[in-house]
Structure 1
Amino acid sequence: MAANFETSQIKGSDEVYDLCCSICEDDDIYKEGRFHCKKCSKYFCDSCVLTHNKFHKDHSVTEKDEGDNLPVNKIFDDTLELCVEHFSEKLTMFCDDHEKLLCQLCLLHYHRQCSQVVILADKIKSTGQCMDVARIAKRIEELHGRLEDAVKIGEKNMKSLQTSYENVLEEILNLRRQINETLDRLQQETIQKLEQLHSSLKISLEKDSKQCVEFMSKLKEYDINCSENISSEQSFIFYKKCLDQTASADLFLGKQIKNAYIEFQHNTDLKQYLDSCTELVNITIHEDPQRNCVDPNRVVSVKDQSQFNVRSTTDRNDCFITGICEASNGVIIIVDRNNKYVKLLDQAFNLIKQVQLPARPYLISKISPNVVAVAFGPEASVPQIHFLRVDKVRIVTLNNIELEQHCNGMAIHQGDLFVTSSTAVCQYTMEGRLVKKLYEEKSTCFNGIGVSPDGKRIYVTDDDDSLFTLTRDGEVTVTLHDPAFRTNYYIPNIHVAATGQVFVFGEKTVNQVATDGKKVLNTIKLGKINPRSVYFNADTNKMVVGFNGDDDVVEFKTKVS
C-alpha cells in the first residue's frame, strides 16, 4: 500500500511489538506494553507500571503474561478493505471516471460502462504517490471542529424549531379564532338582515289583508237592487261611486303580493375561495445552511459536462433561459423569456409541464421548497412579480404583486424581498410594500443581486464589471472589479447558491468569488458565449447554465477542492 502510516516498530531496531507503552510512545520511545489499565485505557512497560501503581492503587492492572487477552489498539479495523455498500466484498479496484473505490459487485452493477477502471495495485504504481498524512490529519481535525460546531448548531436549531413550532401553532389558533369571530359577525349580520326582511314582508302582508277586508266592507255598502228606488241623480252618483270603488279594488289586487317567501342564496365567491384553499396558512421551512457544514469558499471546478435540449414543441422562438432553480422533489424549474414559459424538467431535462406567462420572464428566485417568484424585467409595462407553487407536476399561480420600480435583479431571504433597479438597491415586503432604499448610486446601473444564506451579506453587480458586497444595512464593505464580469447585455449576472457559494458570470465564463467579495477563487470556461442564468447544487455537485438564444442548457459535473 502507498500510504506512509507508521507502525509500532522501535526506531533503529528490528523489534516489533503488538502493543507499546502509551507513556513512552508519547516521547517517541518504543517499549513493549506488557500491562494494561482498563480504567485509564493505557498500556505500560515494566518501568511505567510502577509509577502508575504508586499513584493509582485502586486501579486494576492486567499483565500480558497472566494469559488475559489485552485489547489491541489497531490502526485499522478488519472492515477497512471491505466495500461500504457490499460489506462482504473486498475493495480491489478504482474508477478514475468517478474517483471511487470498487469491489466486484460495484463494477458489475454501476461501473460496467466506465472506461477508466483499474485494479488498486496498478493504480498505486501509476500514481507513484504516497498519501499526504499531514494534510489528511489537518483536514480531519478541521472537519471534527466543524462537526462539533454542527452538533451545537443542531441543538440550537432543535430549540429554535420547537419555539417556532409553538409560535406557528399559536398563530394558526389565533387565525382560526379571528376567522371564527369574522364568521360569527357575518352570521349575526345576515340573521339581522333576515329578521328585518321577515318583519318588513310580514307587515306588508298584514297591511294587504287589512285593505282587502276594507274593500270588501265598502263594496257591500253598494247594493245594486236598492238603486231602482232612488232618483236619477242619486242613481248616477251611486253608479260613479261603484265604478271608483271597483277600480280601486282592481288596482289594489293588481299590486297585491301574490307569493311571499324568503330565498337563501350562497355567497359563491366565498364558497369558491374556501373550496380552492388547500391549507389555512402557508407554512414553509427555513433551514440554516450552516448545519450542512459546507465551506462556500472551497473551489468548485469542472469534471465533466453535458448539453441538453429544452425546446418544447410549442416554442416558436429560440429559447432564452433567464432563470433556473430546483424544487424539493428534484424537478428543475426554468423560465424561458423568448417563449414566455415556465417549464418543469426532470433530472434528464425532459419536459414534464409548462405554463404560459402573461409577459416575458426576466428571472426566477426560490422562496421555499416548492414556491418560486418570477419577475418581469425592465421591459414590462408594469413591474410585477408572480408567485407560483410547483405541486408534483402542476404549476399553480398563488398571487402577484406590483413594485414601485422596474426589477433588474431579485433575491428573497426569509420573507424579505431585495430588488435592484437601475440606480438603487431596495428592500420590499412580500406584499410589495417598499421598506427602504438600502443603497443608491446614480453613476452606475445595477444588474443582479444575491443574499448570503445567513442574510448578513448582499451581493450586487453593475454594468461596470463590478461586484459590490453590502451589509444588511446597505453599507458597501468591498468593491471587486474584474473584466471577467463583463456581459454583452444588462442582465442579473450573479447566483448565490443555497450553500453560500457566490458565482458571477460574464460573456464566456462563470467566476466563483470568495464570500467576503474580495477575490475570484476560480474561473470556469463555458465553451459557449452569453450565459444568461446559473444554478449550482452542492448536494449533487452539479451546475446548470442557460444561455441567450440557445435551445441547450449545459450541465457541469463539478468537484470541490
Structure 2
Amino acid sequence: MFEDQKKRTLKIVKINKYHQFGRYSMAEGTTVNCEPCGYDGLSKSAHLWCNDCGEGFCDKCVKEHKRTKILRCHHLISITDYLRSAELFFDENCEHHKEPFEFFCSQHDSILCLKCFQEHHSKCKISKLSEVAKGSKTSTALTDLENEIQSTNQNFAEYHEDEDKSNTDLKQQEQNIRDEVYNIRRKINNHLDQLQENLLRDLEIKYNICTKNVNEYFSAFKMYASEKQVFIGIRQIGNILYKQKQEVGNNLLNQTKLSLELKTNDDEKSLLLDLKSFGDIVVRESFETVKFKDPSKKQAQLNIQKHDSIDRIILQLHHSVKIKNYLSKTMSLTACAILPSKKVVFVDNENRRLIVHNEDGSFGVDFKLEDVFDLTPVCRSKIAVGVTKGVMIVDIDTKKVKRTNTDSGKAKWGICYGNGKLYIVSYGEIRIVDLDGTVSKCIPLQISVVFNVAVRNDTIYYINTDTETLHVIDHSGNQLWTFHDIRLKRPTCFRSQFSISLDIDNHGNVFIVLPDYDQVIVVSSDGQQHRVILDKSNNLKGPSGISYCQETHQLLVCNVSDGGASIYDIKS
C-alpha cells in the first residue's frame, strides 16, 4: 500500500526537490529551436521561452514578440530555466475535450475549457482563468501547497521510521516469545522433578515401615524378656508358628502379603492427555497508522470542544409528545427539530405536512406542503424545509411560507443550517446556499445518494448507508475521519427506504438513530468511541428523526409511525 502511495505522489516529490535544490533539469546539451524561424523554414536556437505562447524565440524574434501590444505581458524565461523546469509544467489542456483551459468555476473549484463550461457549468459563476490566476505566484495558496508537500515528505519519512521500528519490535517480540516458551518448559521440568522426588521419598518411608515392624518385635523380645519368659515364649511362639505353618500350607492360595504399588494421580494422566501445547502464537493486527499532519485541517479541528468521554453523557427525560394521525391515515415521520423556543416540529412525509407542537407537548398547528422530507431550524421561529424542487422557509409564528429557489433542478433530500447558510443534499453533492437561494459552493461527494446531512462549525457530517460509514469532511471535501458500524445500513423497517438521521452537539459528538435496532447511539467527536444511549426501554420503535438544540442542550427523538416522540435534557 505504501509503495502505491509513493508512486501516486512521485510528481509532488519531484516538485519539492526542484524547490529545494533547483537542479531538476533535462539532459545537458538539450537545445530548443526558435518556433517562428522554424515556420519560415529556418533553424535557429531559441534563447528565451514564452510560457504563455508555449514556444521558444531567438533574439531577433523575441524583439518582434515584445513589440506586439497584446504579447507584452507574456512571461518570458531563459531556455536554461525552461529546460530545468520543463517536466514540472502541467498540461494546460482539458483531458476530456483536449481544448485549452480558459475559465474557472468558483462554485465547483474547477478549471474549465470552453466545452466544459457549455456542457456542465453554464449556470455557475464563471471567471476568466487569466484573471483569477493573477498573483498566483505570491498567493498564500502556493505557500500552502509548498508546506503541504514538505509535510507529505515528512509523513513518508515518519512512515519509514515507524516501519523500521515495527520490524525491530517484531524481531524482539519473537525472541521474547522464544524465551517465554523455554521458561515454561523449565518450570514444568522443575515441577515434575519435585513431584518425582516427593513420590520416591514416600516410597522409601513406607517400605521401611513394612520391614521394620517384625525386626523391632524380636529385638525387644530378646532385650527386655527374662529367661523364664523367653523359654515360655519360645514354646508358645513355636506352637503358634506350627499352627500358622499348617494354616499357611492349607491356605497358600489365600496368602496375604505386603506389597508396594504406584497409584497414579488421575490429574497427571489428564495433564498429559489434555496438554496439547504450551500455548498459541497470536498475531495481533493493529489499525493504528501514521497520522498524516495536514495544516489545512487544523483550524476546523480547533473549533470543536471535546468531552473527556462520551460515558459522561447522561440523558434525562424532560417530557414526551404524542403526534396524532392525520385523518386516521398512517404517518411517516422522517425528520424532527427542536427550536430555541422549545417548540418541536415534525415532518410527516406520508401526508405531506409539517406538524408543530408547543413547549408543553400540546398540538400547535400544521402546514400542508408538497413532497417534504427534511427540515432544519434557521432562527427562533423559522425553519427551512427541503421539498422536491427547492426549499420552503416557514415562519411557525406568523404561519407564512416562502419558497426559495436554489436553481439546481434536482430533488432535495437532507437539509441543515449552519454558519448562516443552508446545506442541502442533492444527487452526488452538498450545495451551500444563502437564505435567498444563491448557491455559494458545491461540494461533490463520492456517492450519488445521501439522504441526511449535519453541520457544526467548519465540519460536515453525512452517512453512506451502502458502506455503513459515517463520513466527516471539511468544506473542501477533505475527509477528517470516519466511523464504521454494520448498524449504519439503510433501514429495512421503513416502507420507503430513507437514510439514517443524525445531529451534532456543541462538543462535536454525533447522535445517530438506528431504526432497525430501535436504538440511538452517540459517537465521540474523534470517531474513536461510541455507545448506545437510548433503546427499546425508552419507547423507541423505529426511531427516524433526531434533533439537538444548541441553546437548550436538549435532544428530540421521534418514531416513524406510532406518533411517539421524547425530549431529553443532556447532562454531562
TM-score (norm 2): 0.41
The structure carrying a bigger helix percent of its residues is: 2
TM-score (norm 1): 0.42
Q: Which protein has the larger Cα radius of gyration, Structure 1 or Structure 2? A: 2
